[in-house]
Structure 1
Amino acid sequence: MTPQAVVFDIGNVLIEWQPERFYDSVIGSERRKAMFAAVDLHGMNDKVDTGHHFTETVYGTAEDYPEWRDEIRMWHDHWIEMASPVIDHSVRLMSALQTKGVPVFSLTNFGIQSYDFAATHYPFLRAFDRDYISGHMGVIKPDARIFEMLEQSCGIPPAYLLFTDDRPDNIAAAQARGWQVHLFEGPQGWAERLVSAGLLTQEEAA
């Protein structure tokens, strides 16, 4: 069945999100590994993604680990450098879908303040037909509730939603609710899926 809307994850689908890569380039891999072993930075980020204040959460964590204070603050102060670069082909696919009249939604684990900041650098983040941002919703993927909230909000039956995400656990959660899904491993594969779904031509997906 032809999807009635396409749902994009953002991190590693539209924008590369590789904090470890950033830290490796700044403090070296050995020191980065030691810090990530000592501090649950991804857990810290999950708090931001569920609606905790970006600056307060990162800076508060930095104060809890004074030996890593400067490095932890980089998660905030150099955030755009971590959330980069843009995956240009994915952004083109988003635009091509909308040009064809296909609604495009976001469904992303993202903080309130960090999303607003990112949107000042990446204007396409304001171009979705509907935004589903975990920080505003108070729940993160892969919790089934975030998928249910999107369904209830948009009114489109699950079987008519096509969702892409780079994380298998998020894909499995959406699939369990009856969504059409695509595990994102690169924009070319996603382009091919959109063509096979009948949403874009080969030329439009290039």
Structure 2
Amino acid sequence: MPIEAVIFDIGNVLIEWQPERYYDRTIGPDRRRAMFAEVDLHGMNDLVDQGHHFTDTIYAWAEKHSAWRDEIRAWHDSWIELAAPEIPHSVRLMRALRAKGVPVFALTNFGVQNFDYACTVYPFLTEFDRAYVSGRMRMVKPHAPIYAAVEADCGLAPDRLLFADDRIDNIDTARVRGWQVHHFTGPQGWAARLVAEGLLTEGEAA
């Protein structure tokens, strides 16, 4: 079926999201492994993605795990260093699609306050035709309700949507709902898929 809208995840599709890399650099791999073993930092971040306040959630987590207070607060205070850098080829693909008149949406697990902050650092995050941000919606991938909400809001049939995400569980839910999907492992493969779908030429996808 012809594609009527392309949907991008953001983390590890448009912006690298590797918190462990930040901590390896700042406190060293051994201390980072110890902290991540003791503190469920990704669980903390999941709360932010669900709509809990960015600052309040992380600072409360830091107080609960006071032995790691400064390191946990860095998840907030140095957050943009965790969410970096952008993936330039993916950004070019997003813009090339929009230049061709293809609607481009975001579907991302992202908090409210840190998404707004990210938009000031990465202006391309303001360029989507529709941005479905989990913190605003108070529902997250890979659970079905957020996909249903996207379908209801955009009004397009599931098989007319092409969705790229780096996580298989997020892709699997979309596939079950009838979306066309692409498991993102790098921008070159995503570019090739967009060319194969007839959405971009090879030159436009370079």
TM interval, shorter chain, is: over 0.9
* Greater than 6 Å deviation, 4+ residue runs: none
Deviations 1:41-63 (A, max 9, x none): 00000000010000000000000
* 1:15 alignment partner in structure 2: 15
Count residues with an aligned counterpart. 206
* 2:131 alignment partner in structure 1: 131
Query: Structure 2: which 5+ runs fail to align?
Result: none
* 1:4 alignment partner in structure 2: 4
Q: TM-score, normalised by structure 2?
A: 0.99
Q: TM-score, normalised by structure 1?
A: 0.99
Distance 1:78 1:141 in 2: 25
Shift in Å at residue 81 of structure 1? 0.4
Distance 1:93 1:176 in 2: 26
Shift in Å at residue 69 of structure 1? 0.1
Percent of paired sites with the same residue: 66
Distance 1:90 1:6 in 2: 13
Distance 1:5 1:79 in 2: 31
* 1:86 alignment partner in structure 2: 86
Shift in Å at residue 133 of structure 1? 0.1
2:164 alignment partner, SS class: strand
Shift in Å at residue 189 of structure 1? 0.2
* 1:193 alignment partner in structure 2: 193
Matches within 5 A, 1:1-206: 1-206=1-206
1:163 alignment partner, SS class: strand
2:182 alignment partner, SS class: strand
The answer on whether the counterparts of 1:163 and 1:180 sit within 8 Å (CA) in structure 2 is yes
| Aligned AA (2:184) | F
The answer on whether the counterparts of 1:44 and 1:58 sit within 8 Å (CA) in structure 2 is yes
The answer on whether the counterparts of 1:2 and 1:198 sit within 8 Å (CA) in structure 2 is no
| Aligned AA (2:190) | W
Query: Structure 1: which 5+ runs fail to align?
Result: none
1:172 alignment partner, SS class: helix
Shift in Å at residue 64 of structure 1? 0.3
Distance 1:174 1:75 in 2: 30
Distance 1:176 1:21 in 2: 33
Shift in Å at residue 2 of structure 1? 1.7
Deviations 1:94-136 (A, max 9, x none): 0000000000000000000000000000000000000100001
The answer on whether the counterparts of 1:54 and 1:76 sit within 8 Å (CA) in structure 2 is yes
